[in-house]
């Protein structure tokens, strides 16, 4: 029998378990009531698979979709699901990289231009994989073994060379498909029923002039179809309220390529703008604020004194007049401070409210 190890859990309790016990079994011994919510685990702050054997004592905690790290793991697993489905639909496709993002995930492929029909086949393959609940199985291998395994994919070989010496080399197998990856992943594809493809586009890798154009598939993942439906409902409502679309539809403002980022406000927009001004002025007056206006252009010395120059100069619009550097103000506070400093003031004037 193997020697026991001691695990400490989020509530401070400690339990002895046999060395080699899977993380999920150890978590069930601690708190069996929420096992259906766990996607992965944290061992001493490091994400691991639920099936990973625990070999030494430490702090163990579950990860669910409510945790940022848990959401990233699920999105990453969803990216693998999409890659597997695309390779099944288009066998000549070469998967490159598929990370989680703040909005979901993407996966890039070296493949001919994709079509909507290709994505229909990908969706069908995804549904089959989810229904089969194919396990994500981790394999730690030598570099030589990984090179043989991914010999036909130059992108994976490049990523393999980037793995620092001494760091484990691993890949994950899902069904008969495998991807070079450090993980972790959700236990199986059944967790990915709420995966939705958002679209596809052609991209050129940044910083690689002359590089092959890749096809990027974007998507988002949820642990249940119900959670996905709620996301799509909220997304649809947000699109209906998109100020960019409403501004054009209601003739409030428009944009020109000749002045990117700056709206041209139309007559209907001016009506809204003036009404908002009136509303704000009423509330500022009620709160005892005096209205001021500060110059749009200030000398560099003002921003150096305020401390903004060191942090914001690269993002400021600068101009030189009579050998002096001026910047369009990116904020109001330096001008407000100069107004305050423009004359001696009594403590009886405080607090001084300007807007």
Rounded distance between C-alpha atoms, residue 132 and residue 125, angstroms: 11
| 56-100 residue pLDDT tens | 999 999 999 999 999 999 999 999 999 999 999 999 999 999 999
Please tell me the predicted confidence (pLDDT) of residue 1. 54
**Across 160-181, average pLDDT:** 95
| 248-303 residue pLDDT tens | 899 999 989 899 888 999 999 999 999 999 999 999 999 999 999 999 999 999 99
DSSP letter at 137 equals E
| 205-232 residue pLDDT tens | 765 555 689 999 999 999 999 999 999 9
Q: Residue 89 corresponds to which tokens in the numbers above? A: 């639909």
DSSP letter at 113 equals P
Give the domains, in start order, of the chain with CATH numbers.
4-64 (3.10.20.30), 69-237 (3.30.980.10), 242-287 (no CATH), 297-349 (no CATH)
Supply the DSSP string of 243-269, one letter for each residue.
HHHHHHHTTSEE--TTSTT--EE-HHH
54's enclosing H/E stretch is strand 53-54
Please tell me the predicted confidence (pLDDT) of residue 207. 52
| 324-350 residue pLDDT tens | 999 998 788 898 999 999 999 999 999
Mean per-residue pLDDT over the chain, rounded: 93
């Amino acid at each position: 029998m193997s020697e026991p190890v001691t695990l400490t859990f989020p509530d401070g309790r400690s339990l002895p378990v046999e060395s080699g016990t899977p993380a999920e079994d150890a978590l069930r011994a601690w708190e069996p009531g929420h096992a259906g919510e766990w996607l992965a685990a944290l061992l001493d702050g490091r994400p691991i698979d639920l099936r990973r054997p625990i070999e030494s004592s430490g702090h163990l905690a579950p990860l669910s979709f409510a945790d940022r790290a848990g959401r990233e793991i699920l999105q990453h697993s969803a990216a693998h699901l999409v890659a597997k489905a695309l390779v099944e639909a288009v066998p000549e496709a070469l998967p490159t990289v598929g990370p989680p993002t703040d909005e979901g995930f993407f996966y890039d492929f070296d493949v001919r231009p994709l079509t909507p029909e290709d994505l229909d086949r990908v969706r069908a393959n995804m549904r089959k994989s989810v229904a089969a609940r194919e396990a994500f199985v981790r394999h730690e291998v030598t570099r030589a073994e990984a090179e043989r395994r991914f010999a036909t994919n130059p992108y994976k070989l490049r990523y393999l060379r980037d793995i620092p010496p001494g760091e484990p080399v691993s890949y994950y197998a899902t069904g008969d498909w495998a991807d070079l990856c450090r993980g972790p992943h959700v236990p199986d594809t059944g967790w990915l029923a709420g995966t939705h493809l958002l679209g596809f586009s052609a991209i050129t890798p940044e910083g690689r002039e002359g590089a092959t154009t890749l096809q990027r598939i974007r998507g988002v993942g949820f642990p249940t179809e119900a959670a996905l439906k709620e996301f799509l409902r909220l997304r649809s409502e947000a699109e209906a309220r998109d100020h960019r679309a409403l501004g054009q539809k209601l003739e409030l403002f428009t944009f020109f390529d000749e002045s990117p980022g700056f709206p041209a406000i139309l007559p209907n927009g001016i009506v809204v703008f003036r009404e908002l001004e009136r509303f704000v002025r009423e509330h500022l007056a009620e709160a005892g604020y005096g209205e001021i206006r500060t110059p749009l252009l200030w000398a560099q010395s003002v921003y150096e004194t305020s401390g903004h120059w060191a942090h914001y100069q690269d993002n400021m619009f600068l101009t030189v007049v009579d050998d002096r550097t001026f910047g369009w103000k990116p904020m109001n506070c330096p001008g407000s401070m100069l107004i305050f400093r423009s004359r001696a003031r009594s403590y009886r004037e405080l607090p001084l409210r300007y807007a």
